[in-house]
Structures are given as C-alpha cells and as structure tokens.
Structure 1
Amino acid sequence: MSSKVVIVGGGVIGSSIAYFLRAGDPTISVTVIERDPSYARSSSALSAASIRQQFSTPLSIQMSLYGIEFLRDIGERLEVEGHRPSIDLHEGGYLFLATQAGEATLRENHALQASLGADIALLSPDELAQKFPWLNVDDIVAGAYGLSGEGWFDGYGLVQALRKKAQSLGARYVAADVTGLERDGRKVTHVVTSDGERYACDTLVNAAGAWARRISELMGVDIPVYARRRSIFNVSSPAQLKNSPLLIDPTGVYFRPEGKTYITGTSPDEDNDPDDLPLDEVDHELFDDVIWPTLAHRVSGFEALRVENCWSGYYEYNVFDHNAIIGYHPDVENCVFANGYSGHGLQQGPATGRGVSELIVNGRYTTLDLSSLGWERILENRPIVEKNVV
C-alpha cells in the first residue's frame, strides 16, 4: 500500500517537498493543499528573492550552497515535456558592509563561510572603493562580497517551476483552505478543508508559511512562528551603479538592482513589528525616515530617488531564533514541520525539500543533516544564534 502524504502549503517549501518526494519514490501519494493557487499573497512570490551563503551558522551556509547548486541546474532538474524553466538567476553577489563595531563579527563569519567552501572575498575600504567607486566607505572598515554563488532570481518563477514539476511527477494540488485536523491519539488521520472534503494522511507536512501557526494550533502545538510584514520598494534613480551587488548596509537597509531600477527595504525595529499587519498597506514612514536617508548616505546618487512601485509580503518569522523549524514534533508523531524561515525560505527551499523527503521516506536525513533545526532546540530552550539576520 502506498503512503499518503498531505502537505499544507504549496509555496516554495511545500512544492519543493512534493517534488522531492515524487522524484524519489513515485509510489508515495502526495496531495498539496494550497489556499491561494494564484500565490498573490504568498511569501514566495512577494519576497526580494535572493540567495546567499553569508550566514554565521554552518548549516545555513550548507543549505544555501545546495540551494545555489539547485538553482543553477533548474532548467534540467525541473524540465517538463521539453520545457525548461528559467528563473533569471543573476549571481551579482551580496555585499555586507561593516563599521568598526561590526568588523570582528564580519571577519569571524567570513572565516566560517570560507572554510565551508563559500566563495566570499573580504575587502578593505580601499578595495571596496576601487571595485564600487559609487560607494561611500568613509565609515566602513571592511566588506564581505560574494564572488559567486550569491545573487537574486525570480521567486514566483521558482514556485511555479517546482509546482509544475511536482504535478508532472504525479503530485495532486488542491485549492482549498484547511479548517480542521482529525486525530487518533498522537497521529493526524485526516485533513479537513473548507469545502467539507477529508484527506486521509499517513504523514502530514505543515508548510503553511506565514499561516503555519494556524495549522499548528489545529493540532494543539504552539509554534513560535508569526506573520511579520515586510515592505519592499522599487525605486528609480539617475545613479549609475556599475556591478551593483545586493548591498547590506550596517543599519540593515538593503538594496539590489532590478533591471534598470532598484529594490530596497529593511526590517522595522523590534518594538514596532507587530504580527499580522495587513498586506494591502505599505510602511511609507519607514522608507521616508530610515531607508531613503540611509541610501543617500551610502550612495550619493540615491539622493534623487523616485518610488515606482511598492508592496508588502510576510516573513514567516520565528521569534525564538530566526531559524527554520524542520522535523517531527514529539506530541504529533506523524507531522513534519517546515516553518519559520524568517526570510530565508526561497533559498533554503531546495535543501528543505530534499531533507524532509528523506525524513519521511527513510526516517532520517541521508544527505545534509538538518536535525539541529528540529523541535528539540525549541522545547529545550536552546536557540541557534544567527548573527547575519536581514
């Protein structure tokens, strides 16, 4: 008898899991329940869609090293009936800048990244000024720049490519909202949707993104993941920034090229970052008070900016330690969680899909060991400290 896996959430995490499950074992029945097949409000489609290895923990670096390998080969991996998808991957690099206060951390992170094979260069102020003559380095003591393996891409295109490939391999996608879970002891036996349908499952996967908490509550699990709104601004400027990377200012403000324009944003202060703010609103005050002044200081050409477009999306924000929660929960033995990526879901989606499929099929990880991201650290209050939170 084939195993039945029901995945709640068809964004990049859920669709990656569906793809790897069906590609690895076509006898497994996979049903993906996605409330919004247009992905109009999904984090996967609304994010700044980028990938980096510049993290401060080995596992996050390794997950993104696999992520870039997957994205580079996406045309071949996700080909369907002769059509090879493209996600316009541009390896323009990340550039993390540090003032004197952040220099030691930047150098420590760089040493770890390099030891794991990430292609990151540590640059002095003079080297930064030579490579990026438009950059103000007066208050900068060092920068870490991704020579390869880092950049940006079409996030919506990635989701669609994973979904179509999973469907071509036999995964079933259902457009519905999950309203209930039926349990027998410590197992979930059926997933109930708003149209009254019941889907039997041997394994349930919570990949509901910003709505992960609502699904967790249906099974009596308190997950520290909340929907945190992030506003993104597309701006035009007369500035000509040759070879512009995705730049992370020491303040946390970022920008990157988007064709002839630029995408920019930042996270609000923690004391002004409530849950579940409406996505149809944009934090213009944050742009006027924080983002624009920072951009103008770092790049003189950005003193003249025009907002061409803006939107908001959700981070599925893990308030415990900003890292993903991946694995089984001890109270619900047949439910795998894949939640709380805190802005890293697109780049960690391929490694998650591969790992979760291994966990379901083999009962353990067989390639990259993701067990340190499991529930044990949450329940035992052992946070993973990530120093490069963007």
Structure 2
Amino acid sequence: MSNQSPSKQSYDVIIIGGAIMGASTAWFLSDNKDFDGSVLVVERDMTYENCSTTHTNSCMRQQFSTELNVRISQFAADFVKNIRSYMGGDDRVPELGIRSFGYMYFADNEGFADVLRESQKVQLAAGAATQLMTPDEIKTAYPFYNVDDIVLGSINLVDEGYWDGAAVNDWWRRQSRERGAEWIQNEIVAMTRNAAGNRVESVTLASGEVIACGQVVNASGPRAARTTQMAGIDVPVEPRKRYSWIFKAEQPLDQDLPLTIDPSGVHVRENGGGTYQCGGHSDYDPAVDFDDYAMDHSMWENHVWPILATRIPQFEAIKVQSEWGGHYAMNTFDHNAIMGPHTELSNFIFLNGFSGHGLQQSPAMGRGTAEWLTYGEYRALDLTPFNYERIPENRPIIEKAII
C-alpha cells in the first residue's frame, strides 16, 4: 500500500501508531461524549505484518505485584467479556470471552517463593483469585508437570488466559473510523515545535504534508524512541527481540495447559487441538534494529526444547509447526508503561514502554489516555503513577511480575 494523505491540514489529536494502543485511544476518544475534536491516526504499515500487536501471545493475567497493574487487567477482562455492551450493543460485534487456563508461576527457590506470596496478598486485596500451590498440590492438579525442583506455584483461574486481541483491535479501528476518526497509512518523519518551544506545533508526513496538531500521542510501540527524537526529547524504550514457536505434541496433554512460566524464563501455554505456544529469549538481550525479526534457530534445539521436555516430559516428542521473532517495547527504566505528557512539551503524550504486557493493558491505557486528552486528568482509574515525569525524577515503579 502506498502512503495516503490526510483530508485536513489540522487535527486536534494526532495518534502516531495504529496498533493496539493507538486503536484503543482512538476508540475511547470516539466513545467519550465530552470529546468533540478531530482525530488522525497515522500508521506506517496497515498490514501490521511486523508489529508487536500481531506477534503477541494474546493472553491476560491478574498476577502482578502492584495493585494498579492488577486493576488495569481487571478492566481488560471486563471489557473483553462485555465488548458488545461497551460498543453500544452493536450486534455486528462478536461476543468474546477469556479462556481462563491461568498463568502458572513456578518458584524454584525461597526468594522467588516469597515474591509470589507477597504478590498474592496484593492480588487478593484487589479481588483476584490467585492460589498458591505446594509441589504436591501442583502434581495432583496437573500430573504432567515435573516439579522436583519447585518449592511453590502460583495460579489464578479467573479471568486469566487467552483472549481474542485481534478481534478487539479490529473493532476498535472499525468503530472509531465509523465515528469520525481518520486513519491513514503514512509515516511521520519530523515534528516542529512552536516559538516558545513548549508544544509540538506540527508534524511532517513522509508524503510531504505538514499537519498542524493540538495534541500528539506517541503510540508507536518499539519505535517510541525514534518518534520522541523527532520532537527533540528522549524516552527509555527500545526494541528487544522475543521468539515464539507453535508446536504439536505427539502425546497431547489431557487437560488445558496453563501459561507456564518456567524459572528459566521460557513460557508455554495451551493453544488448542493438541498444539501449544511457547516463547523465550536469549540470555544476551540487547536492543535490536527496528526491522530485525530474524529467528535464532539454534535457540529451539539448544535452550527451549530441553527446558520444555524437562518440565513436561510428554513434550519430549514434539514438532514445531511455525515460529517467528517479535519485539517487546522494553522500558529500560522500570519495565512499566510510560504515559501522560512530557514535562516540557505539554501536548506530547506518551503511551509507550509496556514491556510485553501491552495487549492486556490496552483497554485501560487507551481509556486513560482518552481521558487525559479530553479532561487533562485520569478519571476512571488513576494512572498518574505511570506518567512520564517519574523518569526525570528517578521514581521507578517496582513491578516484580515481568515475563
């Protein structure tokens, strides 16, 4: 597809990036009766072939160590399960659910077991249903696991598992368009500040147009730092490569496999029909080029498969059906979302750095960003702790449940 030109020379809100975060923000703006401005979403590749949203595991969990992250996922679960109602009762919108096979965290030492215990207290206080399990309890409930080295497990079987992120994303895009948001395939290549230097005045498209803007939202995923640099500012977000495999087991498990987080960092989950999806990354985890999606084929044989076969002996005989490399938009400061306005450029709004849990956070984060754009504050859920200002003030959010 070639670049498309916008229909106007000025917009109240320009969203840079039309994947899950940009789509969520555009939809929640369109759904807010108090917002009556114009919206332009600029997406560099409408096929979404290489974006993080396309390469996701498409799962959600309540098992975070901070209350705010738990509540963000709780809203995601409510939104997915009630999507047609949220979307005005539109009978074209599919009824969706969550395949709640849960996340199973394994601790192979008392230090991490204590983290799971403390996190469970936070989760239970927020209304989650997290259960701690001894090795014997794990073996009784899930006999296929090898738990010889495990001291504690943690699982939640309520609103934790697979959901159809692609369907939600598609309907956010579709309805926001129908309600007046303009979407174009193009790329922003430059930004211009106003004379005072405290606002972004306009953006320049790859096709040459210069478009005036009221507010700019950086929803450009792993390319977040490239986007901010056009405005002369920085954000600590970089692409980190993550590998995924779909495999078929010669002897499939006779019950659903939770999304299992092995102490090694390898994770694997139910995929359906005797197939499973697993993911991992190398111990050496540098930033990579924005367009580097090459597979490390040695990782499967040398690292991932041996771990799977040890943890689940039935996975000794498996066959890879597909594999791909994707990117995390890694916030190297504290692995949490970066939101809200820049401290100097008041109309430059961040929506970046989700570090692998962006899909499940997209309903709450899009809603919150739409509130900020409309009211200058968050209303439904106070997301202020994620605002950009914590970075120059060196106030990291410590989230211990990062995969």
User: TM bucket by the smaller chain?
Assistant: over 0.9
Check conservation: 2:293, 2:326, Cα contact below 8 A: no
- Gap change, CA 1:288 and 1:214, over 3 Å in 2: same
In structure 1, what is the equivalent of residue 165 of structure 2?
A: 155
What is aligned with 2:276?
Answer: 262
Aligned position for 1:325: 338
For the pair 1:238 / 2:250, whether they are aligned, the reply is yes
What are the within-5 Å matches in structure 2 for residues 56-75 of structure 1?
56-75=65-84
Partner of 1:358: 371
Describe the superposition over 1:98-145 as per-residue Cα deviations: whole angstroms up to 9, x where unpaired. 113321111111111111111211111121111111111111121111
The equivalences for 1:134-153 within 5 A come to: 134-153=144-163
Matched residues in 2 for 1:277 and 1:292: separation? 27
Structure 2: which amino acid aligns with 1:106?
L
1:284 to 287, 297, 302: 297
Report the 3-state secondary structure (helix = DSSP H, G, I; strand = E; otherwise coil) of the residue aligned with 1:136. Answer: coil
Q: Which amino acid aligns with 2:187?
A: D
Question: Does the CA contact (< 8 Å) of 2:80 and 2:97 recur in 1?
Answer: no
| 2: CA distance, partners of 1:371 / 1:239 | 48
For 2:382 and 2:132, locate their aligned partners in 1 and report how far apart those are by CA, in whole Å. 29
Residue of 209, 219, 222 corresponding to 1:197: 209
1:52 aligns with 2:56: no
Instruction: Provide the residue aligned with 2:48 in structure 1.
Output: 39
What pairs with 1:295-306 in structure 2 (closer than 5 Å)? 295-306=308-319
Aligned alpha-carbon RMSD (Å) = 1.7
Letter matched to residue 137 of structure 2? E
Cross-structure match for 1:132: 142
**What's the counterpart of residue 86 of structure 2?**
77
> Can you give the 5+ residue segments of structure 2 that lack an aligned partner in the other structure?
1-9
1:377 paired residue among 390, 398, 401: 390
- In the other structure, the counterpart of 1:249 is 262
Contact 1:6 1:199 in 2 (8 A): no
User: Is the 8 Å Cα contact of residues 85 and 161 (structure 1) preserved in structure 2?
Assistant: no
Displacement of 1:81 in angstroms is 5.6
Sequence identity percentage: 38
For the 8 Å contact 1:76–1:84, the answer to whether it is kept is no
Residue identity in the other structure for 2:279: G
CA-CA distance at 1:200 after TM superposition: 1.9
Separation of aligned partners in 2, 1:141 and 1:288: 27
Shift of 1:329: 0.5
| Cα shift at 1:158 | 2.4
Deviations 1:245-295 (A, max 9, x none): 1111111111011122111011322x3433227544112222222211111
Contact in 2 for aligned 1:19/1:162 (Cα 8 Å): yes
Q: Secondary structure at the match of 1:211?
A: helix
Question: Against the structure 1 CA distance between its residues 173 and 278, is the aligned structure 2 distance closer, same or farther, given a 3 Å change threshold?
Answer: closer
The match for 1:5 among 1, 10, 13 is 13
Unaligned runs of 5+ in 1: none
1:312 is aligned with what amino acid?
G
Evaluate the alpha carbon distance shift between residue 147 and residue 76 of structure 1 in structure 2; reply closer, same or farther with a 3 A threshold.
same
Q: Aligned partner of 1:145: which letter?
A: I
CA distance in 2, matches of 1:147, 1:284: 34
Relative to the length of structure 2, the TM-score reads 0.92
Alpha-carbon distance change, 146 to 370 in structure 1, aligned in 2, over 3 angstroms: same
In the alignment, is the contact (CA less than 8 A) between 2:16 and 2:42 conserved in 1?
yes
Code of the aligned partner of 1:39: Y
Question: Once the two structures are superposed, what CA deviation does each residue of 1:134-175 show, in whole Å capped at 9, x if it has no partner?
Answer: 111111121111121110123322221211121122111011
Identify which of 99, 106, 116 aligns with 1:97: 106
Q: Report deviation, 1:66.
A: 0.9
